[in-house]
Structure 1
Amino acid sequence: MMPKFETIKGVLFDLDGVITDTSVYHEQAWHELADQLQIDWQPAFAEQLKGVSREASLAVLLNATGHPNDYSAEQKAQFATEKNDRYLALLQQLSPAAIAPGMTAFLTALKAQNYRIGLASASKNAPFVLERLGLSDYFQARVDPATLRKGKPDPEIFSRCVALLGLQPAECLGIEDAQAGIQAINASGAVSVGIGAKDVLAAAQIRFETTAELTLANIRQQLK
């Protein structure tokens, strides 16, 4: 049973695909690495790489070779570094124009009404992305993914974010665009809000097709 709207005090955000669509840069960088390693790029990779850590993303690619253990820990670390260097180079073109539709207005409304706002992104580059977008000041708490033991769909990142905000899980909404993220929110006890297609985010407790629909009024309608 979902809580009443009035009991919600905090909102936990994923970054990629929610606040901005950096997934296109991630996909390009991973695609280039796959080409370098002579791994045939598969359309399914794009969804599998959403919302998970750099290490887990690399594992998806290497598992596709059928011989993931052919690479040493040092080689895997180098591959991840090469991918991230390329991704950071692509991010240099990022600006406030890349903020997802309606997101600035939503964050402004949350801040004006004293909701606590936290970032629960698996991206180690999240602080840099927020800075490029001009959104850093909206977030009172950010989980450092380097401190986590497990990645999404494990709930650890959302549970940590709830704690940093000083709230209880049922007092928070978690916003995600990936299956793994929705699973993590649900497991944490927060209310999951999915952004995207119904067939992908069937487990989301609340769902909107796009971020443009993400308003307090629309959320209130879902939490009567």
Structure 2
Amino acid sequence: MKNYPKAFIFDLDGVITDTSEFHYLAWKKLADEIGIKIDREFNEKLKGISRMESLDLILALSPSNNNLSADEKERLASKKNEHYQELIQSINATNILPGIEVLLKEIRRNNIKIALGSASKNATEVLKQLGITEYFDFVVDASTVTKGKPDPETFTTAADRLHIPYEACVGVEDAKAGVEAINKAEMFSVGVGEIKHLGDAKYVVQDTSELVFEEIVKRYNDWNLHKGVR
């Protein structure tokens, strides 16, 4: 007998839409302003982690920034967010990644809860601009939790607010830190991207167009059977 999960928890960037380029450009602009050079290769380290953690990694590239006060760091992080918010004004429904809206509709059709678990404080605004807010029962963002990914708090908070047991949840992520967070929460993890980066996920697809509801449910059932859960 097929056993359906009771909730899907999606990451935002790289899963629902791709604002990674905007994040990169915003961080690069801030870094340039404080005399630090970053490139796309370095930007890979910033994916899936919080704004302040990202800032610390950038500041560590220049020893002269070692003694910045907490207030100064907050000012720099806010400046980056201003750059980012300017860039995302152009986002609309055409920026939803392939297959995602079809998947959201299918999940809804099966009366399964949907949450967003994002490291971005702009998550709610991005959903609004994409025109898909109505699909989501709850949004967890950086203002909701105290510990970012790879800590499981983002995903456990979503499940708790939806009143769903963790093992009945599917988490969908494109970052290694996100997959680690899902696994720590003891949920079924789906990775979107290269398996060499996301090999710890229980199920990996190369891109969002391969996120097919019935296939995810099948893999989720196989995982449950493997655990001895009926």
Aligned to 1:100: 97
AA of the residue aligned to 2:88? L
Aligned equivalents of 1:218, 1:202: Cα separation in 2 = 18
Aligned to 1:157: 154
Asked whether the 8 Å contact 2:24–2:40 carries over to 1, the reply is: no
Gaps of 5+ in 2: 223-230
Equivalent runs, 1:130-169 vs 2, <5 Å: 130-169=127-166
Aligned to 2:225: none
Gaps of 5+ in 1: none
Deviation at 1:47, TM superposition (A): 1.6
Query: 1:79 aligned to 58, 61, 76, which one?
Result: 76
AA of the residue aligned to 2:108? K
Aligned equivalents of 1:57, 1:182: Cα separation in 2 = 18
Aligned to 2:38: 41
Deviation at 1:94, TM superposition (A): 0.3
4+ aligned runs moved over 4 Å, structure 1: none
Aligned to 2:226: none
AA of the residue aligned to 1:200? H
Deviation at 1:66, TM superposition (A): 3.6
Deviation at 1:6, TM superposition (A): 1.0
Change (3 A) 1:182 1:5: farther
Aligned equivalents of 1:5, 1:68: Cα separation in 2 = 55
AA of the residue aligned to 2:125? F
Query: 2:56 aligned to 40, 44, 59, which one?
Result: 59
AA of the residue aligned to 1:172? C
Asked whether the 8 Å contact 1:20–1:99 carries over to 2, the reply is: yes
User: Which stretch shifts more, 19-28 or 136-145?
Assistant: 136-145
Aligned to 2:170: 173
Equivalent runs, 1:18-33 vs 2, <5 Å: 18-33=15-30
| TM-score normalised by length of structure 2 | 0.92
Asked whether the 8 Å contact 2:169–2:188 carries over to 1, the reply is: yes
Cα RMSD (Å) of the superposition? 1.4
AA of the residue aligned to 2:157? R
Deviation at 1:164, TM superposition (A): 1.0
Asked whether the 8 Å contact 1:175–1:194 carries over to 2, the reply is: yes
Aligned equivalents of 1:147, 1:99: Cα separation in 2 = 24
SS of the counterpart of 2:53? Answer: helix
